[in-house]
Amino acid sequence: MKAKYLVLIGLFAATMVACSRDEESLFDKPAAVRAQEAIDNACDVLTAAENGWEMAYFPNLETYVANSKTSSKGYNMVLKFNKNGNVSVTAKNNTTTSNKIMTDTASTWAVKSDYGPILTFDTYNDVFHAFSDPGNDGAGMLGDYEFLILKATPELVLLKGKKHSAYSVMRPMKTTDLAAYYAACEKMQKMLFGNNNIVTLNHDNQKMYLYNGSEGQFLSAAYGSPLVAETTTYHPVCTTADGVIVSVGFGEDVHDHIFLYDSIKGELKSEAGAVMNAGNLNTLFGAYFTDNALGWAVDPASIAAVPTFLDQVNTIANDTKKQSNIKLIGYGFKQSLNMYEGGNFVTVQFAYKKNGKGKEQTVKASWTVNLTIDENGIVVSDIVPFDDNTNRWIMSAPAIQEIADALIGSFCAQPSEANLFNAAMGMYLEGEKTLMVSGSTKVQM
């Protein structure tokens, strides 16, 4: 019996030795040593950046709600980590600093081990902890101040919030001029999303629309479809001086978080190959301007019949002694909102004062139109007066029909040369004639 026990003990000891050797050959170093090396590497990387780090900070991954303190959008911060344990944090945003540059240099930082290296801001920082302060409601803005360090290189630090799981990205600052840095971020924001345009995302041979970038969070819609309130994904976004960074990426590669702007091509491109741009402008036109909540207007100067029409209205509105103030307010296209079941409409809107006196009279005349849109172009046909009011104006001022007829034809959407990315800003329709299209998403019709 004793011999058996001795054999078993020997086998157990041999197994333990074997496991120990396998672990040593697999990891090369004990866990404690590896953990300390990861901490040391992170500290070295963080303190080595001469100008500090620009951080695209995402407090959380809550679904976007307009004006909500807890909505997850990106914030530009600048951090300088010192070897003595102090950290300087600067921010400029409407949420926590009243859109003024604010810096706090009096707090500390550390890298600790907790199933991997953890970056922690372990004493209160007026700038950074404003997002994690629980406030009166016990939640505040649901921000993190402790982060799992997923990657730490001299070029990129990728962080994941320990509590709320949002990814944040840090890159070395290229300047020490904080005012210039924030001005560059604001300029890029205005250029990319100045009119809350739609972006076409091309990734892995798939396409989708991204919109709402001006609010700091992309919402998505199926490519080629009108925008809808229901979305399948949302992507918190932070605009930087050279592009955008998203917290929730569009692929497995960490670089898919970062999209750099190419001013020549007018697109944002990630290192992993995903591209954001205006996409096919005809398809974009269909989604952007025929959505139930949007519309577009045509520059009256491009319609030859407008002066004749205004003269006709002037004759109707005035006697021989007075001149009326005739004003063409708008001319354009809008899909029905709620009065009618589907359908597309052309509307001419104008205002006048009878005998140049009294209250201004506003008039809308509408026509139904047949509209077809695909990637090859836009065709408008079959313009028919919609109601008796429109027919009366056609009888009284016939040139109004010529204004509506000016829309008939085949067109291709063209971008403004000034901004290829934000193509809807100044987009125009080009065919036998050119129709200038308003870049606003809230055209008054």
pLDDT score for 300? 73
* Contacts of residue 234, Cβ cutoff 8 Å, sequence gap at least 6: 63, 64, 217, 218, 219, 220, 248
Lowest mean pLDDT among 112-126, 260-274, 311-325: 311-325
pTM, whole model, 2 decimals?
Answer: 0.75
More confidently predicted of 92 and 4: 92
| Residues 339 and 311 sit within 8 Å (Cβ to Cβ) | no
Task: Lay out the sheet containing 167-172: strands in order across.
Answer: 102-108, 86-91, 75-81, 53-57, 167-172, 157-161, 146-152, 117-120, 110-113
Provide the percentage of residues in the chain whose pLDDT is more than 70: 74
pLDDT score for 15? 40
Checking if the pLDDT of 262 tops 50, the result is yes
Confidence of residue 20 (pLDDT cuts 50, 70, 90): very low
| Residues 124 and 107 sit within 8 Å (Cβ to Cβ) | yes
Mean pLDDT (the chain, rounded)? 79
Confidence of residue 335 (pLDDT cuts 50, 70, 90): very low
More confidently predicted of 69 and 118: 118
Q: How many other CB atoms are found less than 10 A from the CB of residue 327?
A: 14
Exposure of 104 by Cβ count < 10 A (0-12 exposed, 13-18 middle, 19+ buried)?
A: middle
| Each residue's pLDDT tens digit, 227-254 | 665 556 778 899 999 999 998 877 665 5
Average pLDDT over residues 145-160: 95
Average pLDDT over residues 318-342: 47
Tokens of 167: 């990814």
Lowest mean pLDDT among 135-149, 184-198, 279-293, 317-331: 317-331
pLDDT score for 182? 97
Domain spans of the chain, in order of start = 33-172, 181-277, 286-436
Checking if the pLDDT of 359 tops 60, the result is yes
Domain 33-172: give its CATH code.
2.40.128.280
Checking if the pLDDT of 133 tops 50, the result is yes
Average pLDDT over residues 384-412: 90
pLDDT score for 403? 87
